Structures are given as C-alpha cells and as structure tokens.
Structure 1
Amino acid sequence: MERTIDKNADRTVDRTMDTIRKNKIKKVVYWGIAFVLAVFWLLVSSLPFVFMVMNSFKEKFEMLVSGVFSLPAALNLNNYKEVLIGNFGSYFLNSVIVLAVSLILLLFIAACASYPLARFRFKLAAPIYALIVACMSIPIHITLIPVFKMSQSAGLYDSIWALIGPYVAFGIPISVFILTSFMQQIPREIEESAEIDGCNKFQMFFQMILPLSKSGLATLAIYNGVNMWNEFSFAYTLTQSSENRTLPLAVWEFQGQYSMNTPMIMAVLTLSLLPMIIMFILFQDKLVKGMTAGAVKG
C-alpha cells in the first residue's frame, strides 16, 4: 500500500516537473520569437533614418558613383553648413513658435473641455461629447478655402499666427476624445476628499485633475506636436513670404532648389527630424503611461 502511494506521488512529481519544463521551454521560444520580431522591426523602422543620415554626409554626385547604400568616403559637413547659412534658421524658428503656442492653447482648451465632460453629470454631456468626436471625421482639405478667406478678413494672412487657429481647431476633437477617457479613470474619491476639505471646482481642476493628467497631456503633446511640426497644407495655403514659412515648406523649397543635390536634401530632412526625436526621447515614459492608462481598471 505504501509503495503504491509512493509511486503515485513520484508520478505526480514527475508530471509537475515535466509541466514546469514545458512551460519554461514555451517561454524561451515565445521570448525568442518576440526578440527576433523586435529586432526585425527595429531594422525596418531605423533603416530609412540611417539611410538619410548616412547620405547627408556625401558629396553631390557621390551617391551616383558609389551607390546609395555605401558609406560616405569622408565626413562631409558642407551640406549642413550650407543649409544652416541659408533661411533654415528662420523656418525652424517659425515652426518652434507655432508649435509652442498651438500646443499650449490646444492642451489648455482640451483639458478645460474634457474636465466637465468626464467629471460632471448633466444632460447635454453625451450630445456635446458626440458632436466633438464627430468633428474628427471632417477632412482638413475641405476647410482650406474658408480658413484662407477668414485669415484674409482677420488680417492674419501671410503670418505664422494664421496657422495657430487651424492647428488648435483640428487638434481639439482627438484631444478631447483621449483626455476625457483619461480623466474618467481618475478615482472620484479624490474629488470627494477635496470637497470635504473645502476645494471648489477651479481649485480641484488646477491643483488635482491637471497634475494627475500629466501622462495624458504628454501623450497629446507628442501626438499633436508631430502633426503640427509636419503639417504642410495650411502652411502652404496661409503663408506666402519665405520669412513666414515653416519647416515643411523649407523642405519643399530646398527640394526645388537642390533637386540634383540629394545629399543636401537629406541634410535638410535630418535637421528637420531631430527636434521630434529629441522630444520623443524626453517624453517617451509619459507617452507609454498615457497610452496604457485606463487599460486596467480597479
């Protein structure tokens, strides 16, 4: 009897050990596949950037002679020097000003609109929210002529300030949609405790809700910032003189001016892309937190 029990116990232990070994093997295989896919995706996504930077250091006709994927014969900085000596600094400054002012206004307006939609209970909350979300379906290009006429009537045409209004207006729907969902995940017990301590709605919004929404605001800043930085249609329609144009138009003009000098165009693209890369590196942790916020409740 005891031998039978011991044999059964040994079999149970063996089965358990086999299950543990199989699970370990499965984990190793899954992690191996995930690692291979991650490396593959890294190569695919980084190859265009490496290609662009590598060719920006080449001479004018070096790409035609040595090939587009060959390393530069020497570290040639003349392309960057020539770009920086030109009007690139003016384009860059205009983009920075438009981006900074537009983002500040957009995030503030979106936060002020999302707070009552997420935390207050009133009959028009659902229709207003649905109307704002429905505005996401409006194509940008059908508004170019009305916005152009409005800019002329307001005396803003051919100035960087003409771009701020459209950028903010078209960024509000997606920003309110994301930020409302983010604010809904904030526990209501925090507000109840603040009300007991004598906090009014304004104090609660500026001192509690906004600080707790930093991750969501950072996500929106990166998302909208990239769109504003790369926007071409409004910048081309609402500005005319070179001193009032932004970086996407600089790339367009450099492409027309240096159509036969591909390394020069690559240098312009590299300089235009660097600010967004730096911005993503600085705020990547908040971006991940903002994208995963609300995925787990409780």
Structure 2
Amino acid sequence: MASSPVARATGRVAVPVLGLFWLAVTTVPFLFMVMTSFKSQQESFSSSVWALPEALDLVNYNDVLSGPFLTYFKNSVMVVVISVLLIMLISSMAAFAFARMRFRFNEAIFGLIVAGMIVPIHITLVPIYLMTRQLGLYDSQFALIGPYVATSLPISVFILTEFMRQIPKELEEAARLDGCGPFAIFFKVFLPLSGPGLSTIAIYNGIMLWNEFIFAYVLTSSTGTRTLPLAIWDYQGQYTANIPAILTVVTLTSLPLVVAYAFGQEKIVKGMMAGSLKG
C-alpha cells in the first residue's frame, strides 16, 4: 500500500531532524573535550563549562607530550598491532575450517566459540591475573596480548566464518583441480578474497583494544609498560584532578582512532554487509 502524502512529508522532515540531533549528540562531547584541553586548570574552574577558552594555550599539550605519554603511545601501538595481526591470522584460519571443512562437532565447536561473545570479560580477570603471574609475564606488554587475542576471537571468527561461507564453491573446486591442498586453498584463494572481512575485524578490534582499560590496569603497574588508557592516572590524585590535562590526554589518544575510522568506516560497513548477503 502506498504511503500517504502526509506520511511522506513527515518522513522528509523527520529524517533530517533526527540526523541533526544524532550529529549533535556525537559531536558536542568531542567539541567540549577539545575546548577544555586548551584551558588552564584555573580557567576551567572559574569559567562556564561551555565557555570558549580565552586563548589557544598549548601548555597542556606541552606538559602531556613532555611526560611519559609517548611511552604509553609506543606501548599501545605495539600491543594493538601484534594483537590485531594474531587475531586476523587465527580467526581467519578457524573461520576457513568452520566454513569449508566438514568434521565431527563442527557446528558444536563453532557455537561454543561464538558463545564466548556473551561471557563478561570481568569474570576472567582473576584467573588471567594469576596465570600471568605464574608465567612471569606480569607488568609487561606481552601480558596484554594473550587476553586481547582471546577475548577478540569469538566475534572475529563469527564475522569471518559467515563471510567465507559466501565465497563461491567453484573457486575452491578449481583450486583443488589444480592440485592445491587445504593450506594452499586458504592462503591463495580464501585469504585474498576475505580482504573486506579482514579489514572489518582489524579496524573493529583495533579500536576496541586501543581503548581497553581493565586488563591494562590489572596486568601492568609501571610507567614503562602501561598503555594510553592509563595515561589519565598521571593527572589525578586522591582528592583532585587536572581536568584540562586529562582531556588533553583523551584528545591526543582519540586522534588516531578518528583518523583510522574516517578512512576505514566504509570498509567496516562493506565487510559487515558482505558477510550477511549471499553472492
């Protein structure tokens, strides 16, 4: 049944209004963060919360960058890059097995892995902490890589499995006729064709791990091993906090994510849709 002129007119008005409302919801906190980062601590207390800074003062940025911020940044880059590469390799190999290889308990094991998405990570903190201490990895960057990979595998395997199931079987059969074994088929056929899915899990997990706090807080303790989400602890005490400096840290920390998402949002959408549509 065709919609009425009133409904069409309402839709034409409602969609832009809702879009502008959502733009404000997502943009205003970011603008507040950037504005406050240019204020001094005294100005942040004496002026209105939404008042513009009196001057574009870079003192907070100089103080943050002259501290251990770059060490935190280096640690985050190392941990996230290694973790994402391992996630992509392990999840793609597992997805290929679940999507194309027939073996006993295939569906049961796949369902068990996917069920890991509903497990709250907080209930794993104590056993992971004890295991990390026993392995001698506590307070090192490598203490974070294992938990990061393990907690990111369920959703990554799920996305890539659904993606690989849509790859035409004729390509796999042609590779077998050429004498390719399972490993050759995976590396020469499925891995190159899974580029959109791999990009999706790389960007998604990269953003999630870049902002991860709880494991970094529990498994590291020294300045030389901490990651960026813990940098804000350098600017707060027991009874006070340097709000402009903290928001400066948050601004600098979020810039790589803004750039990465600006260039990768199309790949995320395409990867998600490719795994849900046949053909």
Q: TM-score, normalised by structure 2?
A: 0.92
| Partner in structure 1 of residue 237 of structure 2 | 256
Contact kept in structure 2, 1:61 and 1:261, CA below 8 Å: no
| Partner in structure 1 of residue 139 of structure 2 | 158
| Partner in structure 2 of residue 239 of structure 1 | 220
CA distance in 2, matches of 1:32, 1:191: 50
Shift of 1:106: 1.0
CA distance in 2, matches of 1:179, 1:55: 41
CA distance in 1, matches of 2:267, 2:243: 37
CA distance in 2, matches of 1:264, 1:163: 26
Q: Which amino acid aligns with 2:52?
A: L
Q: Which deviates the most, 276-285 or 93-102?
A: 276-285
1:21-40 Cα deviation digits (max 9, x unpaired): x77x8666534422221121
1:160-214 Cα deviation digits (max 9, x unpaired): 1111001101111111111111111111122122223333322221122112111
Q: Which amino acid aligns with 2:169?
A: R
**Secondary structure of residue in 2 paired with 1:142:** helix
| Partner in structure 2 of residue 35 of structure 1 | 16
Q: How does 1:80-99 map to 2 (within 5 A)?
A: 80-99=61-80
Shift of 1:139: 2.2
Q: Is 1:170–2:151 an aligned residue pair?
A: yes
Bigger Rg, structure 1 or 2 = 1
| Partner in structure 2 of residue 280 of structure 1 | 261
| Partner in structure 1 of residue 196 of structure 2 | 215
Contact kept in structure 2, 1:258 and 1:264, CA below 8 Å: no
5+ unaligned residues in a row in structure 1: which ranges?
Answer: 1-18
5+ unaligned residues in a row in structure 2: which ranges?
Answer: none
**Secondary structure of residue in 2 paired with 1:191:** helix
Cα pair distance change 1:159/1:296, threshold 3 Å: closer
Q: How does 1:1-298 map to 2 (within 5 A)?
A: 29-256=10-237, 259-298=240-279
Contact kept in structure 1, 2:235 and 2:241, CA below 8 Å: no
**Secondary structure of residue in 2 paired with 1:81:** helix
Pairs aligned (count): 278
Q: Which deviates the most, 135-144 or 252-261?
A: 252-261
Q: Which amino acid aligns with 1:296?
A: L
CA distance in 1, matches of 2:68, 2:74: 10
Cα pair distance change 1:268/1:235, threshold 3 Å: same
**Secondary structure of residue in 2 paired with 1:256:** coil
CA distance in 1, matches of 2:9, 2:269: 26
Contact kept in structure 1, 2:159 and 2:272, CA below 8 Å: no
CA distance in 2, matches of 1:285, 1:211: 18
Contact kept in structure 1, 2:162 and 2:276, CA below 8 Å: no
Contact kept in structure 1, 2:164 and 2:275, CA below 8 Å: no
**Secondary structure of residue in 1 paired with 2:89:** helix
* Root mean square deviation, CA, Å: 2.1
Q: TM-score, normalised by structure 1?
A: 0.87
Q: Which amino acid aligns with 1:165?
A: G
Q: Which deviates the most, 29-38 or 67-76?
A: 29-38
Contact kept in structure 2, 1:258 and 1:265, CA below 8 Å: no
Q: Which amino acid aligns with 1:245?
A: R
**Secondary structure of residue in 2 paired with 1:155:** coil
Q: Which deviates the most, 230-239 or 73-82?
A: 230-239
Q: Which amino acid aligns with 2:116?
A: C
Q: Which deviates the most, 28-37 or 225-234?
A: 28-37
